[in-house]
Chains A and B, each alone.
Chain A
Amino acid sequence: MSGRRILAMTRKEVIQIRRDPLSLMVIIALPLIQLLIFGYAVNLDIKHIPLCVYDRDATQTSQDLLKRFQATDYFRVVHLADSYRDVVRQIDYGVCTVAVVVPPQFSERLRSNGQASVQALLDASDANTANIGMAYALSIVQAYSERVQIDWRERHGLAAVAAAVTFQPRTWFNEDLVSMAAIVPGVVAIVMAVVGAFLTSLTIAREWERGTMEQLISTPVGKLEIQIGKLAPYFVIGMMDTAVCAGVAVWWFGVPFRGSWTVLFGCSMLFLVVVMSLGYLISVTSTSQLGASQLAMLATFLPTFLLSGFLFPIEQMPVPVQWVTRVLPARYFVFILRNVFLKGTSVRSMAGQLAALAIIAVVLITLATRAFHKKLE
């Protein structure tokens, strides 16, 4: 091990990176773009669901009910249908996701039988939006129903009691329920996985593909020195990205930051070591850049995006998949990031996650060093 040789290796890599300033800029801008998209476009809070209304009753009562749909933020009335076929058409064309149909004699029935129902037709090809839309519609109709009951009680001289149970939610950690706050940790993890594994895997696969790896090997530089020297610049880029992400999230989007910056950067470094070792392992086992990039996609981006629990809750996945997530570094990192950003809990409470990351790092580094050794022979 010689510091000079490592430095020489690093300098070579830095020169190569600097030759291509555009790519460097893109790498640093990537987290910004992702944050902007997630911050402004992909609000997981579903609102303004396009609604189509078909009022076959057309009375004051039915209009009262439908006005409640207009008054909320959850729905946006985009169409007033005049026939049932029209409703079907609107849903088929995707103009509206939910259609509320008030049957004829709605108010008549409500007055005489006390029982009346309205229909909600949902385009459930988007199951999630349909599910949420259903809940919104249900709560609107329930609220209306309660109003009707209260009026009725007053007319019949019964005590106008509201025995309703109300829930007073006290939301912790993300008081305003902004999805941005929940998403930022995931974005940080994705960006680091991409920068760490993708770029790393390409940088070594490139040497193999161009045949310059043999030249490197013939120099006195050792394999560990190649490893460290080549990865050092990307490590710095990865940490810069983390800083950019965290800075923009906290100061631009106002995501709460309750933990300590030291813990954030310390854990990020550990995670970066893990993903870089993974990228390194991928690059020594595949000889073309195409192969390396596809494998890196499968091994880092995809699991970080889907299985880390940042977008899709792990508890909701099938049990075998939950087991798979246990070997994924991203899962632990997202947990740690959520703790650092939103909960501000102590390092001790995430000792398990940190240990898991450290074990994965050791395993990957051992594997990568071995695989590289074989390649030289």
Chain B
Amino acid sequence: MRILQSFARVGHMLRKEFIQTLRDPHTRFLLIGPPVIQMLVFGYAATLEVKHVELAVLDLDNTQESRELVSHFSASRYFEIKRHAARRDELREGIDRGDFLLALEIHSGFAQRLRNGQGASVQVLVDASNSNTALVALGYFSQIGSQFARDYESDRLRRSAPQLASFLPQVELETRPWFNEGLDSQWYFVPGVIGNVMLIMVMMLTAFAVVREREIGTLEQVMVTPIRRWEFILGKTLPFLLIGSFDATLISLFGTFWFGVPFRGNVAVLALGLTAYLLAALGLGLYLSTISATQQQAMIASFFFIMPMITLSGFGNPISSMPAFFQKLSPINPMTHIMVVLRGVYLKGVGLEILWPHIAAMAGLAAILLSVSVLRFHKSLE
């Protein structure tokens, strides 16, 4: 009997929350708009690929060899020759203005040095104010350079010693990118965004919903009703768990059907992982609500958590490149685990046998966060 009553009270609470959340067209938009917009922006904008880098060329040698080198660049999909400069000043000015990021300067005597077998050097000017693009582009340069040198060498050997040419030893590297054969950035970012958006949504909604009652003063009103505290907490958090699950489904479908990211694993595994993750986010949101008295504080506090959590989760940068200290810290971040689960399920198609430690870790974190915040929440009501 008492349990039934209790269920009824949680039910009322749920109804109140849903009415409150859904009655305002603004808020209704907030439940669907931001996640979808974030998905679109991330999907289209977040690319670390470096293609068609704008390049200027100053060819002071103007020989067959130098033109051959330039054509190696124009043939590559990494570079786009924006200008053939005539003077050195043009390079400097163009880089200053930001017309192109790189400039290639082939000195006179380039071909002569090559023919003498001396090894020729070419100057490259790099606008490194975006260090990532610059680094990657420099890598492409050396690839193209050795390709050119190799072509030139075998060409020459064919002319001078044709009988030996076919025996010139060479070691090739065959590369096989698994799971994402086209090395498509979208495939990498889109699954990650689901974890990102879910954290922001669920954590903020939960924290704000509770703090709002406190700020407006309706929390006392709720507390004088016969509702028990755990019922209140359940009634407060359950709607956001449902809304979060709805949004997660929505943007997962978006990722698959709009961006065409393959889904190779098992839906049930994903659902299990996301549930554990959402619970952890809920726990965190509830915890924030216990440490903040106003919504402004809740906002600042959630920012305090969101930024480091996202940047240290391996969402955009591999954890293996971080310093050891941060690598050790990363298992206590639920987002680290959901990233592994999301990419594992979407791209690798691996199942529970591989992902269970991560799901278990999230469940454990959720349990800790929820119990700590429920305990604190009790206190903060008294």
Contacts and interface: CB of A to CB of B under 8 A. Distances in A.
Interface of A: 20, 22-23, 26-27, 30, 33-34, 37-38, 40-50, 65, 76, 91-94, 97, 110-111, 114-132, 134-139, 141-142, 144-146, 148-149, 152, 156, 158-159, 161-175, 177-179, 181-182, 194, 198-199, 202-203, 206, 209-210, 286-291, 293-295, 297-298, 302-303, 306-307, 309, 311-313, 315-318, 321, 335, 338, 342-343, 345, 349
B167 interface: yes
Contacts of B174: 117-120
B176 A294 contact: no
Interface stretch (B119-127, B231-239, B362-370): B119-127
Contacts of A45: 131-132, 135, 321
Given A289-B296, A316-B50, A318-B44, A124 B181 contact: yes
20 contacts: A41-B322, A110-B169, A117-B173, A118-B171, A124-B181, A127-B187, A131-B136, A132-B139, A139-B142, A141-B173, A161-B118, A163-B114, A164-B149, A166-B122, A168-B121, A170-B125, A198-B299, A291-B26, A298-B34, A313-B132
B47 A312 contact: yes
B175 interface: yes
Contact of A202 (B153, B295, B340): B295
B320 A152 contact: no
Contacts of A44: 131-132, 317
B149 to A, nearest CB: 5
Contact of A42 (B126, B177, B317): B317
B143 A139 contact: yes
B152 interface: yes
Instruction: Name the prevailing secondary structure of the B interface residues.
Output: helix
Given A290-B27, A302-B41, 12 more contacts: A26-B301, A33-B307, A49-B321, A119-B174, A120-B174, A127-B187, A144-B171, A145-B170, A167-B121, A168-B124, A169-B138, A179-B131
A33 B172 CA distance: 45
A139 B34 contact: no
B134 A125 contact: no
Contact of B304 (A30, A38, A288, A290): A30
A158 B212 CA distance: 82
Centre residue among A20, A152, A162, A164 by max chain B CB count within 10 A = A164
B177 A164 contact: no
Contacts of A293: 204, 208, 295, 299
Contact of A315 (B54, B297, B326): B54
Interface in B182-205: 183-185, 187-188, 200, 204-205
B318 interface: yes
B51 interface: yes
A146 B167 CA distance: 14
B227 interface: no
Interface residues of B, number: 120
A290 B24 CA distance: 12
B171 A65 contact: yes
Contact of A117 (B50, B171, B300): B171
A23 B121 CA distance: 57
A43 B122 contact: no
Interface of B: 24, 26-27, 30, 33-34, 37-38, 41-42, 44-54, 69, 95-98, 114, 117-136, 138-143, 145-146, 148-149, 152-153, 156, 161, 164, 166-181, 183-185, 187-188, 200, 204-205, 208-209, 212, 215-216, 294-297, 299-301, 303-304, 307-308, 311-312, 316-318, 320-323, 326, 340, 343-344, 346-348, 350, 354
Nearest to B304: A26
A312 B176 contact: no
Contacts of A137: 173, 175
A146 B145 CA distance: 13
A119 B175 CA distance: 6
Across chains A and B, which 8 residue pairs bring their CB atoms closest together, nearest first? A161-B117, A124-B177, A124-B180, A174-B128, A125-B347, A117-B172, A171-B128, A141-B173
A49 B320 contact: yes
Contacts of B170: 114-116, 145, 148-149
